[in-house]
Structure 1
Amino acid sequence: MSLVGNWSYPTAIKFGAGRISELPGACADAGITRPLLVTDRGLADLPITASTLGIMRAAGLGAAIFADVDPNPNEKNLAAGVTAYNAGGHDGVIAFGGGSGLDLGKMVAFMAGQTRPVWDFEDIGDWWTRADANAIAPIIAVPTTAGTGSEVGRASVITNSETHVKKIIFHPKVLPTAVICDPELTVGMPKFITAGTGLDAFAHCVEAFSSPHYHPMSQGIALEGMRLVKEYLPRAYADGTDIEARANMMSAAAMGATAFQKGLGAIHALSHPVGAVYNTHHGTTNAVCMLAVLELNAPEIAARFDMAAAYLGIDGGFDGFRAFVQAFNDSLGIPRKLSDMGVGADRISELTAMALEDPSCGGNPVTLTAENVSALFRAVI
């Protein structure tokens, strides 16, 4: 079976090995003649970035790059990116990288023409209508990890550097005009990033599948996304050059982010404040939090995960699924507690308050309270 396709759900996706060569055509289709490639510091000097800049240069698109992006990008990174974009006279963004590069790149394209502060566009009610939609620059997204799925998302997560709170900034036009999913770009990912990003995709699928909201399309996508991670993440982890495994994980990442239109839940409500305060890796944090959240949600989700377990080839229904999650984490080198990642129990009350403010709470099947969230933090720390 050929792992190549041209998809338009949720946006136009050029999928397949070697398709980064089609970047100039994607820019032309989007009307971009002077792109700014936005990525993170860790990727800036890697060969995949140099070769992508070479493709841009050869096509007459220049080779402008902005890489002053933290692992959990903040409004200072954003302000610097907007300055670079406007100073360079750019007319579009190539968002290149994992979640941080993709999220920050999308926000540079969004904010370059706005006059209000970014916090005015938080994903609350209809705040997105405050933006000047005509001033949003076109975005080409090029993921280099297989996790967040930000390449198919209409929002970005930006950390407020003063309050250490992660905010979700939303606008429909933040959805990239086109996406190039080239699994060859993920071959060089180290094992711990392969594991952490892959489990981020898994968490997106698990939470979307758990969400009580009605969205059958997302429900189906979430289920198949879980299967792809189960089958192919161990292969990608064992052999980073396994292109079939890398391609299927790249699909699972896009599927997870498409599915969570149905909602996220307590896993993300916990991991967002932990990441903001302790700067932990997001996907790895999600993986550590997953088991305790499954326990909390068991009364509401056990029946549907009985069905999911059967589809996934896991014996024992929901209980079997929980046992699988722990064994899966262990096999991928994921720590069992957040204390192993430098998270202390001394700030649980603060983390609990931040978690209860996180918009992910709304998609959890069990109502989150100060009592059960603090209990979750005690369990996972």
Structure 2
Amino acid sequence: MTISGFSFPTSIRFGAGARKEVAAHLKSQGLKRPLIVTDKALAQLPVLAEFKSHLDGLDVAVFGGVFGNPTCSQVMDGAAAYKAHRADCVIGFGGGAALDVAKVVGVAATHEGDILEYVWDHPKVRPIDKPLPYFVALPTTSGTGSEVGRSSVVSENDTHLKRVVFSPKILAKVVFADPELTLALPPHVTAATGMDALTHNIESYLSPAYHPLCDGIALEGTRIAAAALETAVNQPSNLQARSDMMMASMMGAIAFQKDLGAVHSCAHALGAVCDLHHGLANALMIDTVMEWNYESAKEKFDELAHVCKVQGGGENFVPWLRALKARIGISGKLSAHGVKREHLPRLVEIATADMCHQTNPRPVTAEDFTRLFEGAM
């Protein structure tokens, strides 16, 4: 047998009210001047003001410059804000975009050069070799699970291609996962981010890479999300459903250190070319890709069907996915969301170059991606 290496991430404080522990925790570390990194919309909402009310005794500044699919320039602007505030720590507060920026603001603030020089596949990648600011994360959506991830996905400013800074050093020291922070999310955001979480768990489980620890987490994450997502969308104030989705989101992100698949390669392309929300892009592609994957992983589809309580086994898993999407309000083909046929060549090019499909259960060529995108149009 070959020797495999495993590692699991960070300390998590999970449950309603966890956000109220942040101030005491930072003070216990001798920290006084946090920079909150969040997105433009959240910066103006009561949820951030309410969180700040629990940070008594700290000199708090807010960088609310994250929007859309986060870019390298947003990271550099956040680093400038960190320096201007003379901050000693970073609080990431928001969805996946804000947390991805927050993870590497400290890198850009303490290391030379542009953050793009620290992406893993840069030809002259710079090492993260200096101490980083203390970083804690508070997710306000249940989708990416970025709060427990050791990677930051940011887009190039001009091309919008997604690039990845990957290092265990950028992990949050503590995650304060408080489902109360998601109660105000509108149904369409809950649906799209929830499908992101579900996709992470499903694709991780289907990946042929060897990681039984992640397989167990991915299956349980799938079960939890399948049972809770519809309730979270239709009953926004249901705290149990919100808690379950936040847990499923984190489980998906922990599981996908095993790897993902072709759904994510398609979604990354749709984000780069058409600026589609990542969770929505996954939701629009998942049933088309899963239908194509079925013959290559029938036994695993049977397991997924079992944990999702799908009658009739794995062959009915994709119809169940389509019905779930319809019930939570995700409808229409790619064309209904601004994707045009003239986008296809560039979509295929980016998806083919994306790493995620390398661990798809069925090998994917450029011609296959063309058929998948056309099938979802």
Task: Give the TM-score normalised by structure 1.
Answer: 0.94
Deviates more, 1:352-361 or 1:151-160: 352-361
Measure, in 1, the Cα distance between the counterparts of 2:137 and 2:29: 12
For these two proteins, the number of residue pairs brought into alignment is 371
Match of 1:135, SS? coil
Distance 1:54 1:255, change over 3 A: same
Deviation of residue 308 (structure 1)? 2.4
* Number of the residue aligned with 2:84: 87
The secondary structure found in structure 2 opposite 1:262 is coil
1:4 alignment partner in structure 2 = none
Q: Distance in 2 between matches of 1:63 and 1:90?
A: 9
Q: Structure 2: which 5+ residue stretches go unaligned?
A: 1-6
- The DSSP-based 3-state class of the residue aligned with 2:257 is helix
- Of residues 146, 152, 155 in structure 1, which corresponds to 2:151? 155
Once the two structures are superposed, the pairs formed by residues 161-176 of structure 1 within 5 Å of their partners are 161-176=157-172
Q: Which position in structure 1 is the counterpart of 2:72? A: 75
Which SS does the other structure have where 2:256 is aligned? helix
Q: 1:228 to 1:142 in 2, by over 3 A?
A: same
Task: Indicate the SS of the match to 1:372.
Answer: helix
Alignment of 1:78-117 (within 5 A): 78-117=75-114
Query: Which residue is 1:63 aligned to?
Result: 60
2:335 alignment partner AA: S
Taking a change above 3 Å as real, the CA distance of residues 125 and 206 of structure 1, as seen in their structure-2 partners, is farther
Cα deviations across residues 198-223 of structure 1 (Å, max 9, x unaligned)? 11000000110110100011101111
Match of 2:197 in 1: 201
Instruction: Report SS of the residue matched to 1:39.
Output: strand
**Equivalent residue for 1:247?**
243
Instruction: Report the aligned-residue RMSD.
Output: 1.7
Greater displacement, 172-181 / 307-316 = 307-316
Distance in 2 of aligned mates of 1:255 and 1:210 = 15
Which residue identity does 1:106 align to in structure 2? K
In the alignment, the residues of structure 2 paired with residue 375 and residue 115 of structure 1 have an alpha-carbon distance, to the nearest angstrom, of 44
Residue identity matched to 2:45: L
User: What's the CA shift for 1:30?
Assistant: 4.8
Q: What residue identity is the alignment partner of 2:115?
A: V
How far is 1:181 from its partner?
0.6
Q: Distance in 1 between matches of 2:186 and 2:303?
A: 34
Is 1:331 equivalent to 2:327 in the alignment? yes
1:10 and 2:6 are equivalent in the alignment = no
1:298 to 1:126, Cα distance in 2 relative to 1, 3 A: farther
Distance 1:331 1:170, change over 3 A: same
Secondary structure of the residue aligned to 2:12 is strand
- Residues 123 and 319 of structure 1: CA distance in aligned 2, closer, same or farther (over 3 Å): farther
Q: What is the Cα deviation at residue 314 of structure 1?
A: 1.0
Which residue in the other structure is 1:5 paired with?
none
One-letter amino acid matched to 1:226:
T
Task: Identify the residue that residue 21 of structure 1 maps to in structure 2.
Answer: 20
Amino acid at match of 1:211: S
Q: In structure 2, what is the Cα distance between the partners aligned to 1:335 and 1:348?
A: 20
What is the CA-CA distance between 1:127 and the residue it aligns to?
A: 7.6
AA matched with 1:179: V
Give the Cα separation in 1 of the matches to 2:295 and 2:113: 44
Partner Cα separation in structure 1 for residue 120 and residue 337 of structure 2 = 29
Q: 2:312 aligns with which of 316, 321, 325?
A: 316
Cα offsets for 1:10-52 (capped at 9, x unmatched): 2111111011110112323555321100000110111110011
Distance 1:34 1:183, change over 3 A: same
Task: Tell me the distance in 1 between the aligned counterparts of 2:67 and 2:30.
Answer: 29
3-state SS, counterpart of residue 141 of structure 1? strand
Partner of 1:136: 132
Query: Is contact 2:118–2:128 with CA below 8 Å preserved after alignment?
Result: no
Counterpart residue number, 2:209: 213
Distance across 2 between alignment mates of 1:54 and 1:69: 22
* Mapped contact 2:72–2:116 kept (Cα < 8 A): no
Q: Is the 8 A contact 1:97 1:144 kept in 2?
A: yes
**Residues 1:38 and 2:37 aligned together:** yes
CA shift digits 1:123-143 (9 cap, x unpaired): 349987x32333322210000
Matches of 1:132 and 1:123 in 2, distance apart?
11
The aligned counterpart of 2:4 is: none
Instruction: Provide the identity percentage.
Output: 40
1:344-381, Cα deviation, whole Å (9 max, x unpaired)? 11021111111112121222122221110111111112
**Map of 2:115 onto structure 1:** 118
Question: Structure 1 stretch 24-33 or stretch 331-340: which is displaced more?
Answer: 24-33
User: After the TM superposition, which of the residue ranges 108-117 and 167-176 deviates more from structure 2?
Assistant: 108-117
**1:248-274 C-alpha deviation (Å, 9 max, x unpaired):** 110000000000011011111011121
Partner of 1:50: 49
Instruction: Give the counterpart of 2:358 among 356, 362, 370.
Output: 362
Instruction: Give the letter aligned to residue 92 of structure 1.
Output: C
Matched, 1:351 2:342: no
**Structure 2 equivalent of residue 3 of structure 1:** none
Confirm or deny: 8 A CA contact 1:30 1:177 kept in the other structure. Answer: no
Q: Corresponding residue for 2:283?
A: 287
Structure 1 unaligned spans of 5+ = 1-7
Q: Is the 8 A contact 1:236 1:245 kept in 2?
A: yes
Corresponding position: 1:304 with 2:303: no
Rounded to whole Å, the distance in 2 between the matches of 1:309 and 1:125 is 40
* Aligned counterparts of 2:344 and 2:25: Cα–Cα separation in 1: 46
Return the alpha-carbon distance in structure 2 between the equivalents of residues 159 and 274 of structure 1: 13
Q: After alignment, is 186-195 or 27-36 more displaced?
A: 27-36
